Amino acid sequence: METTSDFLNIKDVNTAFKINGKYYDAISHINLTVHHDEILAIVGESGCGKSTLATTIMGLHDPSETKISGEIDFEGTNLLKLDEAGYNKFRGAKIGMIFQDPLSALNPLKRIEDQISEVMTYHTKLTAEQKHDRVLELLKEVGIVDPKRTAHQFPHQLSGGMRQRVIIAIAIACKPDLIIADEPTTALDVTIQAQILDVLRKIQSENHAGIILITHDLGVVAETADRVAVMYAGQIVEEGSVEQIFNTPKHPYTRSLLRSMPQRDNQNDDLYVIQGNVPSLQKMSKIGDRFAPRIPWVKPEEHEENPTMHEIEPGHEVRCTCYKNFSFPDQVGSVKA
């Protein structure tokens, strides 16, 4: 799956949180590669570990409360070996981050121009005039209609969509190679969502960046991503191109997620509900298929004892062998790909 344009290689990464004095894995044995010029979506229900993966890459965990192992190779540097000062050279410069809630990510007391300039002051040697020009250029790039006016405003004077555009402007100010966007459109209405996703796509193609897009919204994935990694209970259960995941999904969890997604042309059908919940960290099984309790009609022998990823076709991998004959209870016979 690796190509010469790999620049982020996540190898066997585990992140465990300390709860009542004991460590529990929130993400386990994560292997992922991100290429330049692509949007990789990470999808899964709430609690699957998507944000933990993002914050692990960004080095945002308190080492006294978290145990992290594995390797995150970013352009030749293992990020997991960096101290705080080392990480600060990457965050904001080579790696940009866009969070779900733009209001809490912005300083309410500072004008937009100062907040965008700040990251350039830290990471570049641009003069005040150059930074001013770049702020206006960035605001224009993210689709702000009147950059001069917005640059002078405070966050509370902007709409949610405009604030998210400002966050994107900050994230891309230093032309990062990697952008991590964690639910960037969840708080926005549908029209603004589409505009923000357009901005992300434009940035990815113009800056040749790689973007990790974290979302629980499969509609966003279908519209935006090139590749998809589906997470369940801290593990990747399926990975493939958008076409592979949407046209020939294999893992029962991926298929359940897709079945629970509203279809435009089938508005009267009841939506499928995936029974049960994502297990809490303390209840996460170390052996066996973690999704097995939610598909109890699949016989135990159809699951692997220690599920591994299987390559089905180039670029398309699925965890466990239970996908082979999987069908939903109301369907007869096995499911053909």
Ligand X SMILES: Nc1ncnc2c1ncn2[C@@H]1O[C@H](COP(=O)(O)OP(=O)(O)OP(=O)(O)O)[C@@H](O)[C@H]1O
Backbone angles phi, psi at 267, to 5 degrees: -65, -20
- Residue 19 interacting with ligand X (CB under 6 A): yes
Q: Which helix (H) or strand (E) holds 328?
A: none
- Residue 50 interacting with ligand X (CB under 6 A): yes
Pairwise CA distance, residues 212 & 227, whole Å: 10
18 strand-pairing partners? 23
State the nearest-atom distance from the C-beta of 183 to ligand X, in Å: 7
- Which is closer to ligand X, CB of 48 or CB of 138? 48
Residues 301-330 contacting ligand X, CB under 6 A? none
Q: Taking a C-beta distance cutoff of 8 angstroms, is the pair 40, 5 a contact?
A: no
List the one residue from 32, 49, 166, 207 that touches ligand X (CB under 6 A): 49
Residues 107-146 contacting ligand X, CB under 6 A? none
State the nearest-atom distance from the C-beta of 100 to ligand X, in Å: 8
Rama region for 278: left / alpha / beta (φ>0; ψ in -120 to 50; rest): beta
Number of Cβ within 10 Å of residue 262's Cβ equals 10
- Which is closer to ligand X, CB of 49 or CB of 147? 49
- Residue 235 interacting with ligand X (CB under 6 A): no
State the nearest-atom distance from the C-beta of 280 to ligand X, in Å: 6
Q: Quote the DSSP letter at residue 91.
A: B
- Residue 52 interacting with ligand X (CB under 6 A): yes
Pairwise CA distance, residues 218 & 242, whole Å: 10
Of 35, 29, 31, which Cα lies nearest the Cα of 8? 35
- Which is closer to ligand X, CB of 162 or CB of 228? 228
How many positions of this chain bind ligand X (CB under 6 A)?
14
- Residue 17 interacting with ligand X (CB under 6 A): yes
Burial of 83 (0-12, 13-18, 19+ CB in 10 A): exposed
Residues 199-218 contacting ligand X, CB under 6 A? 216
- Which is closer to ligand X, CB of 40 or CB of 144? 40
State the nearest-atom distance from the C-beta of 52 to ligand X, in Å: 3
Q: Which stretch binds ligand X (CB under 6 A): 46-54, 71-79, 109-117, 301-309?
A: 46-54
Pairwise CA distance, residues 37 & 15, whole Å: 27
- Which is closer to ligand X, CB of 97 or CB of 139? 97
- Residue 48 interacting with ligand X (CB under 6 A): yes
In this structure, what token pair is assigned to residue 205? 């193609």
Q: Taking a C-beta distance cutoff of 8 angstroms, is the pair 315, 240 a contact?
A: yes
- Which is closer to ligand X, CB of 16 or CB of 169? 16
State the nearest-atom distance from the C-beta of 274 to ligand X, in Å: 14
Q: Which stretch binds ligand X (CB under 6 A): 48-56, 238-246, 265-273, 305-313?
A: 48-56
HSE-CB for 70 with a 13 A CA cutoff: 22
Q: Which helix (H) or strand (E) holds 25?
A: strand 22-35
List the one residue from 30, 47, 174, 245 that touches ligand X (CB under 6 A): 47
In this structure, what token pair is assigned to residue 21? 């004095």
- Which is closer to ligand X, CB of 280 or CB of 308? 280
Interaction mask 150-179, ligand X, x per CB under 6 A: ------------------------------
One-letter amino acid of 137 = E
Pairwise CA distance, residues 172 & 56, whole Å: 20
Q: Are strands 235-241 and 6-19 parallel, antiparallel or unpaired?
A: unpaired
State the nearest-atom distance from the C-beta of 214 to ligand X, in Å: 7
State the nearest-atom distance from the C-beta of 237 to ligand X, in Å: 13
- Point out which residues bind ligand X (CB under 6 A): 17, 19, 26, 44, 46-52, 216, 280-281
